[in-house]
Structure 1
Amino acid sequence: MAYGKTVLNVACFYNIAAETHHLPQVAVKAHSTILSTTSRTTLTQTFSNANDYTIEEATYVFPLYEGVSVVRFKATVGDRIIEGVVKEREEAKQEYEAAKDAGFTAALMEQTLEAADVFTTKIGNIPPKSTFQVDIEFIGELKQDLQTEGIRFTLPAELYPRYGNAQVEESDFDQNKSGLEATVDIQLPEGITIKTVQSPSHPIDVSIGNLSTDQDAAPSFSRASATLSKKETNLDTDLVIVITPSKTGEPTALLETHATLPNQRALMASLVPKFALPAETPEIIFVCDRSGSMQSNIPDLKRALNIFLKSLPQGVAFNICSFGSRFSFLWPKSRLYDQKSVDEATRHVATFDANYGGTEMYRPLEATFKQRLHHGYNLEVFLLTDGEIWDEENVFRLINEASEKGNGDLRVFSLGIGSGASTSLVEGVARAGNGFAQFVADGENMDKKVVRMLKASLFPHINNFKLEIDYEGAGGESDDFELIDAASTVVDFESEKSEKPKKATISLFDTSAKIDDAPPPEVKPLPTFAEQPYLQTPSSIPPLFPGSRSTVYVLLNEGAPHKNIKSVALTAPSKYGELRLEIPVTDVGRGTTLHQLAARKECRELEEGRGFISRAPDADGKTGAARFGPVWDKIIQREAVHLGLRYQVANKWCSFVAIEKMPDGTEFKAGSTHEKAEGSLYSDGYPLGSARGGAAGGGIRKAKAAKGFGFGGLSFRSKSLVVGSAPPPPPAPAPAARFTPSAVDAICTRGYEMPSQSQPVLFGAAAAPPAPKPSLFGGGGGLFGQRSGGGLFGGFGSKGSSNKGSAFESSASMPASDALFGAAPSPALAPQPTGASPALFGRSASPPGSTKRVGIQSSSPPVAAAPPAANAFSFGSFAPQAEAAEVSAPSSSPLETLTALQRFDGSWGWTANLERITGVTFEDAKSAAPSIADDALPTALAIAYFRTKLADDADVWELMVGKAEAWLASKGINAEVAVEAVAKLIK
């Protein structure tokens, strides 16, 4: 992505007056297949490294439609093809870093923590004079377009800046010379014909009768293919295609048997409801985004509001809230809809402009919920926004809590206005508020859409829909049925099954008691759950609105009956009579599509603070959050990780990692010692993490600041990968670091902490998680411990590089701020140790002329790199659980270093300093204690070192060791056995 004049938030790179170059984007292709109401898309992005040197890491950011399930990730670098595998987020990151540092081709794809519709991809070790290609395959549900009663498919083209804690602006980008080649094939069920295929966003060519992949097949009006009118088109707006079939929203229920998992089935029920009930007269509040990012969308906002105002029925009360970095209401309380109030509101809307500053959504929504009328009125909230914020999680939590407190009398609908509206925010708000979302592209007609949304808000509140599964008995007759209801399913906490021994009475005055030897606090493991036979998602079926598609999934696990399913039924009571619809089930055979769609939907529910386990009570009637408090977040994460791993779908806590195989054809294993074979992808034939002698640098890797590489966000239009290039100025004295308002604005954060002198690194990679525990949804799961080390952003920029453009004041004399993005701290942030100065991940500096490294451009002089010590450490030579950064220098005492390396929970991770102090390698420790889990070995080794080498300082480390022993016990490991096994290795 090119960064020209200004900063784009999503990439978090800051260029100052440095010359920039681009890795040209050779081609971007997207092929989508629409099957009824779902889509499967393969996105292929190809880039070229025309340089004479290897690029150690390329990072780019791209958008995907919220809720899609990424099911395949493949990278091709040169002639090497590497397939991605879903792993727990931190484990995937560690494996990627280890492979990259060892000189292997590797790739990593992550969902950003702040938004579910933004992803980051990294490619490690791109050889010179080569191309690299990334293929991403994703599946998703299609929205019902209320304007046309058709099926709406969206391919995001832009990644717009979003408002966060830092003020940022959108950059100017060079036009992508390759453009986008997009093809959409449409295959509807036999008997349903395609009436129209149109795009409100771009000119397209449509062929009815055949698919692009099968031109020789007999023509059918159930098939069509659409392509952009120009073969290569530069997209500056999202590509939207709307298909209008002859029949819309026909109820369907599909049953899929998993292709590889035994006794695993998935059920999907989908329909666009068509039923009528008397309208109600609620209170309606329009919450309108008037922030600066809405400048081009204000006309559409006014048009939508005027339609709403003119369509309101008598008897409703209404109000208008405008928000940005501040907010205001038209009236202190909602007023009854009459001529006077609507005239006043219309005059008010005419004054609208994008003059409310930044986009802060939480406070206006909070105020809206607090000042509602309550007197016999249900509350309907309409959020009209471009959704360009990062603080989604708190907004979702606010709406979740308001919905629960309202006992079903509150709903939130959302309308995303303009191309680039955040699908994650707009869809998530509607889900949390039991409403639905719609989107309007630039200049798209919206009148029907707005009116139908308003009609839905007048629809009676029916919140207790249930799903029944009817099993087939002998002779095809119904045998029995299962009612799926998370709220009535009692969760069995297996960790609390065992009987606890009766505790002895403790004397308040025990002369034999040794106060200093009091045992450490008990570390309780996360509670585990019995596997449930059914997992319905969403766990609480949202209200059904006429004209708006609703889809429900059920994962049938081992405990569910293995009978044929005849039909499913949706039922709900209402004051007008029982509502019911029975849908026959069609068996689609073996596959993974429905399973992956279901898994992704449940993961999204968990990410947004809902999900099955959030609603299921225990034997005492308490739900998980009320029972476990802060620990509940870890339980939620564990369940999402289990689903991601089991069904191989990416989510907030699971990422794709792809690593090329070792020269002998085996899988790469972090921590093993190996070198690249001759004829490898690397220009010098050496692993990038190794030190070499010679005239080029005598074993010292070139200082990372010499030539910085900044890879920014990428979209189809022009956001190609950026490589900054500038010769390094001579070192300059480092002024004291200062935080200023402008400094905070200078760095593109999304609400992350800023570094301080006592915090050279904040976030990053971590030790591998402990062994998984039984999960609610079957299989393993576990608590993923606290992470330590790494840079401010952990995944962005270059680790160990001199990353410029810091959170401090920018000036010609300003030094590089390495610690911001993960390198060792600069003099401005922390004192520099003498002697060896290990870089992040323990790598030494590279010699001039060797491989280049992604970094941050700056006009500030770099900090000179210290030469490595003779025992400079390489990431590839220690354990897979290696820490992301060294938090103390080799010159520190062993006690100080081990103290600094200990985590809050009492454990240690395997680091270069731990190996250096103890003199024990990971391989030796594993050989001495093969039965001890990898992530427990460093903790046992640290305890052993304390006891054998630092016995005289026992009064200093005894609490630390006590906490460490408790941590080992919480993992089911006998501390004494583990410590004794490794203690003999300490010389």
Structure 2
Amino acid sequence: MVRPCGLLTEQHKPVPLKSVDVELEVRDHVATVVSTLNYENKEDKPLEAVFVFPLPGDAAVCHFSAKLGETEIIAEVKEKQKAREEYDDALSSGQKAFLLEESLQSPDIFTMSVGCLPPGESALIRLEYVTELKEQADDGLRFCLPAVLNPRYEPQGSGGSGSGSVQVTSCPASLVPYTLSFSAQVSSPRPVSKIESNCSLDPLQYLNSEQTKATVKLAAGHKFDRDVELLIYYKDAHQPTAVVEMGKASEEPGTLMSDPVVMLSLYPEFPEAVMSSIASCGEFVCLLDRSGSMGCPMSQTKNAQTRISSARDTLLLLLKSLPMGCYFNIYSFGSSFQHIFPKSVEYNQKTMEEALQKVGEMQADLGGTEILMPLKHIYSQPCIPNQPRQVFVFTDGEVGNTKQVIDLVKKNSNAHRCFSFGIGEGASSALVNGLAKEGGGHAQFITGTDRLQPKVMQSLRYALQPAVGDVSVTWDLPKKVSHAVVSPPIRSIFQGQRSLIYARLSGKIPKDGEGSVTVKYSLAGQPSLNKLQFSLKPAEDTGLTIHRLAALAQIRQLEMEERESTGRQDDSVKKKVVELSVQSGVSSAFTAFIAVHKGDGEAIQGPLVRRMVPVPRLRMCSSTVAYGACAPMARTACAMPMMAQTIPKQKKLRGCKPGSKAGGGYRQLTSVFSRLITPSAARCGSSPTVGDSVLRPKGCAMDTYDCLEDSPPPMARMGRLTDRMMMVENASMPSQPPMDPLLQLVSLQKASGCWDLDQALAAALGKTREEVEKPRPASVSQEVWATILSLIWLHGFKMDTQDEWGLLAMKAVSWLRAQNASCVDECVAAGNALLGCQVQKGALGI
């Protein structure tokens, strides 16, 4: 019998978190999420349960409460240090207390502490947050319920493993000891056309004949083994809207929460004359994550492609789609970084071939995930005149210095646009969305069986749009009504992409009043504008959702200002954040939710035992090491040796040995893992062993891993250790399957857009060289004939992946037009006959 793996109590019972119930309500593009967590202490000692878990990076946490029997305790937002002190005082007094706080390192990680839960008692914890749904390039609105929290890599010397960092307890996703139920209700002024998910859903049910309201829930038997992602599609999605929400009369007059707030959703439309031509210039810089975790498969399906392999294929498509005359470079990073060229070079056949050769050799073999240094190097390079810089970042998004990275991108936002791609489960939404938001670009996430290639090519289309400049917003409101914008200014606009504006309204608002907002900008040297007229009549049943999102937008701006002012003797910005957070009831980096049950009963007696609640982990994709009882598990079941039994708080284990009671029966690690121990462990000259809580070399001092239950391994060590293990494992991974026929054909295209008529092309088309040569009209060159054949094959056999090859096909068509070739009709007819297709000349665009 296989012993359960993961975090267990001394009696081998599951952790005190029993279930998580999530209710999602989506109104247009705003989501309200209510999570109910059911805790139960089945032990004979009072517990403190600590749960470190992910939330969307742009979520405004606005409610935290606990229900004990029939008694509900609603938490208050307080300055973080005061909240912690109040929580500690409550625990020392034997009172029940609850604490929820946001990580200082990344706004998408929260810590929930449930303190002094008596034996046999239950607690229902209610957590509520609101968030904007980001629009994907295919017009779908993406909601993600994060389940997986992979260790965030802390760069050496970042200070992340100090008091401000978060310590995560995780276990294989298939062994999470609590269940998840999830349901969603969607409503919009426009019909809901479909809802898709990476998880199995029950059939979509419409709640009215107009199909503007619908409900859906996870299918029975769902495993809490992945992030839950919904993609919501509306008909006529690109419709600008405005929502006015009344303030709370009981709030102090003149504050954000007392005044009305308007949320404007704008969809600027560009002139067709500008959009019909794609930019033929730009500096395209790709930054590819090559940390160990990029060797994991893209999904849990059989023979799934690895993340690094998918990224290589994507770079092939991207390089083939770049316009002649632009500039480019490719960086890759892990614990260190590399670049193909010392500086960006002009795109031509020679530089493209050199880059593709280097890309084909890239593996997930650079260790950790230190993205800050390569970004600094990119920004240190002088911009090329008349070549707007576009940065494409590919990462599985597991870093600990998220805010530092985003601050750097913002600092350089005037010199580039940043397009980011979060690959795989557990990618940090705060990092991926933050890079795009502050870099004026667009973010995409690739999970499950999603393909990376079409999403990257969609973003490349955005990057090839002309850069918008001189953006300004003007308001026209009734007399005696004024406004104050609380969201960041609009700095980038893409065709059809939503831009959000939050503003406070003050003064006497007429009952039937109307206002308008005009967005002016310069596009391709020409002035343009878009105007939205809207009613000032308040919406019904919105509560304070819009106010809280506006508060969060202002809080994030102030937090960034505070980080920029670090080193100055001025706490005024931090005070503003705390004041706004307390006033709005929205969490921030400097505040926390605290609730204390000051009941009439006696204080809870006895030593307090800490139980760390595990969160799902998918990052390790295979296990080459024997971990005692975990060894018989499936490849993904138990790859991180950081998880074992918990022990009572303050109990310290010395000299843990394999096979001892403290060691839990784990046996010594193999030599593969031994090579991955930190340098300090190697200096000890001893074999590594596993204790009840953390890994440590036998007999080593505290500067390596020590067996202290109340000091779980910092995320920095977990991240570095994981990536080093992945690096070793990836070196022995089996070779990838043969190249996809589409990529085989694409790989043969020249930088100019044409193809050569040779044996390789014939093989890609499924023919012999003689078969493709014989039907060629005598007056047509080999390159023209080969290019027309390639276009016919793409349109005849790969229309379902046109998003991937559309741009390189446009380049091929442009090259053909420049040749002024004769007999094009004859070539198309002959090509159709040869390939067995019926593609019309007009469909090819030539």
TM range (shorter): 0.5 to 0.7
The superposition leaves residues 708-753 of structure 1 with CA deviations (integer Å, 9 ceiling, x where unpaired) of: 63414435999999972479999989xxxxxxx968989xxxxxxx
The answer on whether the counterparts of 1:19 and 1:725 sit within 8 Å (CA) in structure 2 is no
Amino acid at match of 2:75: G
The residue number in structure 2 matching 1:648 is 585
The Cα of 1:69 is off from its aligned counterpart by 0.7
For 1:745 and 1:106, locate their aligned partners in 2 and report how far apart those are by CA, in whole Å: 39
The 8 Å contact of residues 141 and 233 in structure 2, kept in 1 or not, is answered as yes
Query: Which of 28, 33, 56 matches 2:25?
Result: 33
Partner of 1:508: none
Alpha-carbon distance in 1 for matches of 2:649, 2:263: 59
Alignment of 1:328-727 (within 5 A): 328-403=338-413, 408-473=414-479, 534-538=484-488, 540-556=489-505, 564-574=513-523, 576-586=525-535, 587-589=537-539, 591-609=543-561, 630-632=568-570, 634-663=571-600, 677=601, 685-688=602-605, 709-715=610-616, 724-725=646-647
**Per-residue deviation, 1:639:** 1.7
Alpha-carbon offset, residue 646 of structure 1: 1.4
How far apart are residue 183 of structure 1 and its match?
A: 0.7
Does the 8 Å CA contact 2:419/2:439 hold for their aligned counterparts?
A: yes
Q: Which secondary structure state, in structure 1, belongs to the residue aligned with residue 262 of structure 2?
A: strand
In the alignment, residue 599 of structure 1 is paired with which amino acid? A
List gaps (5 residues or longer) in structure 2. 162-167, 297-306, 619-636, 656-675, 682-690, 714-846
**Secondary structure in 2 matching 1:225:** strand
Structure 1 pair 731/562, CA: closer, same or farther in 2 (3 Å)?
Answer: closer
Counterparts of 2:368 and 2:700, CA distance in 1: 32
Q: Structure 1 residues 259 and 81 mapped into 2: Cα distance closer, same or farther (>3 Å)?
A: same
Are residues 721 and 83 of structure 1, via their aligned partners in 2, closer, same or farther at CA, if it must alter by over 3 Å? farther
Could you tell me whether the CA contact under 8 Å between 2:520 and 2:529 is conserved in 1? yes
Q: Which shifted more, 432-441 or 17-26? A: 17-26
Residues 729-768 of structure 1: pairs in structure 2 closer than 5 A: none
| Paired residues for 1:283-294 under 5 Å | 283-294=283-294
Identity of aligned residues (%): 27
Taking the aligned partners of 1:222 and 1:716, their CA distance within structure 2 comes to 37
What CA distance in whole angstroms lies between the structure 2 residues aligned with 1:650 and 1:805? Answer: 31
The answer to whether the 8 Å contact 2:694/2:707 transfers is yes
Residues 1:140 and 2:131 aligned together = yes
Deviation at 1:467, TM superposition (A): 2.3
Give the structure 2 partner of residue 251 of structure 1.
Answer: 240
**Aligned residue in 2 for 1:966:** none
Deviates more, 1:26-35 or 1:111-120: 26-35
Q: CA deviation digits over 1:481-503, x for unaligned, max 9?
A: x7xxxxxxxxxxxxxxxxxxxxx
Distance 2:226 2:550 in 1: 29
Deviations 1:524-580 (Å, cap 9, x if unpaired)?
Answer: xxxxxxxxx724311x212111233221211346xx675645222222245533222
- 2:193 matched residue in structure 1: 195
Equivalent in the alignment of 1:207? 204
- Once the two structures are TM-superposed, the CA of residue 819 in structure 1 deviates from its matched residue by 13
Task: State the 1:28 CA deviation.
Answer: 1.5
Aligned pair in 2 of structure 1 residues 375, 729: CA closer, same or farther (>3 Å)?
Answer: closer
Aligned equivalents of 2:240, 2:452: Cα separation in 1 = 26
Deviation at 1:461, TM superposition (A): 2.8
Give the Cα–Cα distance (whole angstroms) in 2 for the partners of residues 306 and 339 of structure 1.
13
Give the SS at the match of 1:588. coil
Q: Give 1:5 deviation, angstroms.
A: 8.1
3-state SS, counterpart of residue 415 of structure 1: strand
1:569-612 alpha-carbon deviations (Å, 9 max, x no partner): 2222455332222212243347311110011122122333489x
Whether the 8 Å CA contact 2:225–2:616 is kept in 1: the answer is no
Are the counterparts in 2 of residues 77 and 126 from structure 1 also a CA contact under 8 Å?
A: no
| Equivalent pair of 2:610/2:648 in contact (CA under 8 Å) | no
The alpha carbon displacement at 1:22 in A equals 2.7
CA distance in 1, matches of 2:13, 2:702: 23
Q: 1:565 to 1:103 in 2, by over 3 A?
A: farther
Report if the CA contact (8 A) 1:805-1:816 is conserved: no
2: CA distance between counterparts of 1:121 and 1:169? 13
1:268 aligns with one of 251, 254, 263: 263
* Secondary structure of residue in 2 paired with 1:394: helix
TM-score, L = length of structure 1: 0.58
Alignment of 1:790-805 (within 5 A): none
CA RMSD of the aligned region, Å?
3.8
Query: How has the CA–CA distance of structure 1 residues 220 and 328 changed in structure 2, closer, same or farther, with 3 Å as cutoff?
Result: same
Q: Secondary structure at the match of 2:95?
A: coil
- Residues 471 and 713 (structure 1 numbering): CA distance in 2 closer, same or farther, change over 3 Å? same
CA 1:562 to 1:95, structure 2 compared with 1: closer, same or farther past 3 Å? farther
**What CA deviation, in whole Å up to 9, does each residue of 1:828-852 have, x standing for no partner?**
xxxxxxxxxxxxxxxxxxxxxxxxx
2:96 equivalent in structure 1? 105
* Residue type at the aligned position of 1:159: L
Measured in 2, the distance between the counterparts of 1:401 and 1:118 equals 24
TM-score under structure 2 length normalisation? 0.67
Query: Secondary structure at the residue paired with 1:45?
Result: strand
Preserved CA contact (<8 Å) 1:26 1:46: yes
C-alpha displacement of 1:174: 6.4
Letter matched to residue 470 of structure 1: D
Distance in 1 (CA, whole Å) between partners of 2:10 and 2:701 is 15
Q: In 2, are the aligned partners of 1:34 and 1:184 still within 8 Å (CA)?
A: yes
Rounded to whole Å, the distance in 1 between the matches of 2:501 and 2:392 is 24
Which of residues 39, 45, 53 is equivalent to 2:37?
45
- Call closer, same or farther: CA 1:727–1:138 in 2, change over 3 Å: closer
Contact 1:469 1:568 in 2 (8 A): yes
d(CA) in 1 for partners of 2:371 and 2:590?
A: 25
* Structure 2: distance between partners of 1:729 and 1:462: 61
Letter in 2 for 1:449: K
How far apart, in 1, do the equivalents of 2:702 and 2:278 lie? 65
1:52 CA drift (Å): 2.0
Is the CA contact 2:291–2:366 (under 8 Å) kept in the aligned structure 1? yes
Pairing 1:315–2:325 present: yes
Displacement of 1:24 in angstroms is: 4.7
Q: Which region of structure 1 is more displaced relative to structure 2, 367-376 or 712-721?
A: 712-721
Which structure 1 segments of 5+ residues have no match? 7-12, 211-217, 474-478, 483-532, 615-624, 664-676, 678-684, 689-700, 734-740, 747-802, 822-853, 859-987
CA displacement, residues 651-689 of structure 1 (integer Å, 9 cap, x when unaligned)? 1112111122443xxxxxxxxxxxxx2xxxxxxx4355x
Amino acid at match of 2:211: F
How many equivalent residue pairs? 626
Structure 1 residues 389 and 383, CA gap change in structure 2 (3 angstroms): same
Aligned-pair distance for 1:165? Answer: 4.5
Q: Is the 8 A contact 2:171 2:643 kept in 1?
A: no
TM-fit CA distance, 1:292: 0.8
Relative to structure 1, the CA distance from residue 386 to residue 547 in structure 2 (aligned partners, 3 Å threshold; closer, same or farther) is farther
C-alpha distance in structure 1 between counterparts of 2:91 and 2:131, whole Å: 32
User: Aligned with 2:203: secondary structure?
Assistant: strand
Question: CA–CA distance in 2 between the matches of 1:330 and 1:637?
Answer: 42
Conserved 8 A contact 2:43-2:120: yes
In structure 1, give the amino acid aligned to 2:241.
T
**3-state DSSP class of the match of 1:566?**
strand
8 Å contact from structure 1 (residues 711, 723) kept in 2: no
Alpha-carbon distance between aligned partners in 2 of 1:117 and 1:602, rounded to the nearest angstrom = 17
Over 3 Å counting, the alpha-carbon distance change for 1:462 and 1:139 in structure 2 is: same
DSSP 3-state at the match of 2:89: helix
Pair 1:127 & 2:118 matched = yes
Give the number of the structure whose residues are more often helix, by fraction.
2
